[in-house]
């Protein structure tokens, strides 16, 4: 049913998506690769039971999110996240590439929980309830973390956000 061959095939199919999500959560390619590897090692021993129950992806993703954001499980607790240099102020006519640089620097200044909530809600397109379940918190925590994260992004990078949503006017 679900042996090493199905595990290898599943990883080949879904591994890149897991790595992208881990990168968005950590902001560092090395840490993202480590988190994916750690979560796959944890899942491998349970693979046959997970496949027997149905789709293993929710369990794998929950393990991945824990490896990325749970400070009690991280080996590098003292290490700061996202070592991004301070960007030059964006010009009024920022290109999308400039906006991405500014937005990335702003994301680096969010807490890990705030980044996780934004990734789950807007990149993974999960509902508030699904994100809360994956993060092991309440729906109201997801709502408040989303609100705080978006407020902080609007303050840190208003021009960058306007470049992605040009129909909305940005106040100076």
The runs of H, that is alpha helices, within 85-157 are: 96-108, 112-118, 128-135, 139-156
| 162 touches 168 (CB < 8 A) | yes
107 and 64 assigned to the same domain: no
All residues at 6 or more sequence positions from 10 whose CB lies less than 8 Å from its CB, including other chains = 56
112 and 56 assigned to the same domain: no
Q: Is residue 28 part of a domain?
A: yes
User: For residues 104 and 14, which has the higher predicted lDDT (pLDDT)?
Assistant: 14
Q: Is residue 148 part of a domain?
A: yes
Give per-residue pLDDT as tens, 2-34.
Answer: 677 889 999 999 999 999 988 888 888 888 999
Q: Is residue 169 part of a domain?
A: no
Whole-prediction pTM = 0.65
Query: How far apart, in whole angstroms, are the C-alpha atoms of residue 135 and residue 113?
Result: 9
Query: How far apart, in whole angstroms, are the C-alpha atoms of residue 67 and residue 80?
Result: 16
- Structural domain range at position 148: 96-164
- What is the average per-residue pLDDT within 73-91? 49
All residues at 6 or more sequence positions from 47 whose CB lies less than 8 Å from its CB, including other chains = 2, 3, 4, 6, 7, 56
Which among 11, 34, 25, 5 is positioned nearest to 135, based on CA atoms? 25
The CATH number of residue 107's host domain is 1.10.10.10
Q: Is residue 83 part of a domain?
A: no
Q: Is residue 75 part of a domain?
A: no
User: For residues 166 and 103, which has the higher predicted lDDT (pLDDT)?
Assistant: 103
Q: Is residue 21 part of a domain?
A: yes
Q: Is residue 87 part of a domain?
A: no
Q: Is residue 13 part of a domain?
A: yes
- Whether the pLDDT of residue 128 is over 90: the answer is yes
Query: How far apart, in whole angstroms, are the C-alpha atoms of residue 12 and residue 30?
Result: 19
Query: How far apart, in whole angstroms, are the C-alpha atoms of residue 170 and residue 74?
Result: 38
pLDDT confidence band for 162 (50 / 70 / 90): low
């Amino acid at each position: 049913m679900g042996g090493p061959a199905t595990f290898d095939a599943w990883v080949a199919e879904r591994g890149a998506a897991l790595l992208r999500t881990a990168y968005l959560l950590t902001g560092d390619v090395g840490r993202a690769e480590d988190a994916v590897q750690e979560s796959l090692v944890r899942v491998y021993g349970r693979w046959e039971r997970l496949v027997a129950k149905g789709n293993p992806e929710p369990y794998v993703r929950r393990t991945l999110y824990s490896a990325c954001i749970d400070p009690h499980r991280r080996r590098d607790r003292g290490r700061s996240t996202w070592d991004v240099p301070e960007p030059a102020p964006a010009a009024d006519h920022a290109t999308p590439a400039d906006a991405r640089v500014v937005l990335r620097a702003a994301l680096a200044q969010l807490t890990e929980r705030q980044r996780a909530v934004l990734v789950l809600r807007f990149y993974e397109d999960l509902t508030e309830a699904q994100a809360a379940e994956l993060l092991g918190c309440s729906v109201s925590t997801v709502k408040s973390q989303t609100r705080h994260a978006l407020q902080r992004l609007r303050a840190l990078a208003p021009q960058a956000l306007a470049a992605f949503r040009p129909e909305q006017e940005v106040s100076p």
